[in-house]
Amino acid sequence: MVGGGQQGAAGTAAAASGPAFHRFDPTLPPANTNGRLQLNWHAREAPIRITDDTVVSAWTFEGDIPGPIVHCRVGDTVEFTLTNDVDVPHSMDFHAAQIDPKQAFRSVGKGQSVTYTFKPRYAGAFMYHCGTAPVLMHIGSGMHGAIIVSPREGLAPAKEFVLVQSEFYLGEAANGVRPFDYNKMLSTVPEYVAFNGRPSQYVKEPIRVKVGDRVRFWVVDAGPTHPCHFHIVGEQFDTVYLGAPPATPLRGVQTFSVPAGGGMVFELLCDIPGEFPFVNHGFGHGQKGSIGILVVEQ
Ligand code: CU
Ligand code: CU
């Protein structure tokens, strides 16, 4: 499943020794300002190192788990094209779109493309994912990510980060690479749970901000099955937006659960220096890697 024909012998050798680990940058990229976003993405397979000693054979959008972070504003025009580079059929379902799914979210075979256009109506943190059956297998093998839709009026200035929680269900390694295991996905007992595709990566390399910063986490739970009970040790959320920000703010929240297939916005004011773990407070899963550290520096 790894590589496909395009990588050949060199790709096989690379998979055996494995690709290097890289931290997934959680920084929210700026929204482009001209109101139009053109995305030309490819569905492809890639070996990805998710821990020092684990390489997985992923199904991806654009070669990583999660796929690229998309950022736009309410009412922008998103022109999306997916081209499938591999033998397994794939598709794209943007939760930020309101569109006929039979047409727009249809599966395409190798070498084929699907194109559609949408204008996000509501602000928020939205999931995207491959919707090809069985969806569990396609989301669970890495085909998911986040599209962040900012309100046109903007929000308070903040350091903004995106966290996509997902679960990993893995089989035994072949040539040093672990396949995804559909039966384990059905069992719903994950081996790892991660923010942005690598268990505990932000413990090793924390997210750093300064005293006085407002921090905004756009949290998407890609599942495929479990929620994320988002909490920051030693802090409280000044504001949690359940729906489209800036509407429906909740104040003074300790923990709130993001459902599988959902997204929410969490803000805190960093007025105390220190190292604050951000965790899935469902600790069976926090222990499996959905944990990181927010360092607040003087
Ligand atoms: Cu797919
Ligand atoms: Cu969905």
The tens digit of pLDDT for each residue in 183-207 reads 999 999 999 999 999 999 999 999 9
Q: Where do the domains of the chain lie? A: 2-154, 160-169+179-297
β-bridge pairing 70-73 and 144-150: parallel
Residue 3 has pLDDT above 90, yes or no: no
Nearest-CA neighbor of 70 among 47, 45, 96? Answer: 96
Q: What is the pLDDT of residues 218-269, one digit of tens each?
A: 999 999 999 999 999 999 999 999 989 999 899 999 999 999 999 999 999 9
* Dist. CA 25 → ligand 2 center (Å): 24
Residue 45 has pLDDT above 60, yes or no: yes
Alpha-carbon distance of 291 to 230, in angstroms, equals: 10
Secondary structure (3-state) at 135? helix
Are 48 and 182 within 8 A, CB to CB?
no
Query: What mean pLDDT is reported for the chain?
Result: 94
Alpha-carbon distance of 105 to 70, in angstroms, equals: 18
Q: Worst-scoring range by mean pLDDT, 1-15, 163-177, 199-213? A: 1-15
Arithmetic mean of pLDDT, 3-19: 47
Q: What is the CATH number of domain 2-154?
A: 2.60.40.420
Record the pTM: 0.94
Q: What amino acid is encoded at 205 in this protein? A: E
* Dist. CA 144 → ligand 2 center (Å): 9
Q: Which ligand has its closest atom nearest to the C-alpha of 67? A: 1
* Dist. CA 101 → ligand 1 center (Å): 15
Reported as type and span, the H/E element at residue 215 is strand 214-223
**Domain 160-169+179-297, CATH among 3.40.30.10, 1.10.3720.10, 2.60.40.420, 3.90.950.10:** 2.60.40.420
* Dist. CA 163 → ligand 1 center (Å): 21
Secondary structure (3-state) at 13? helix
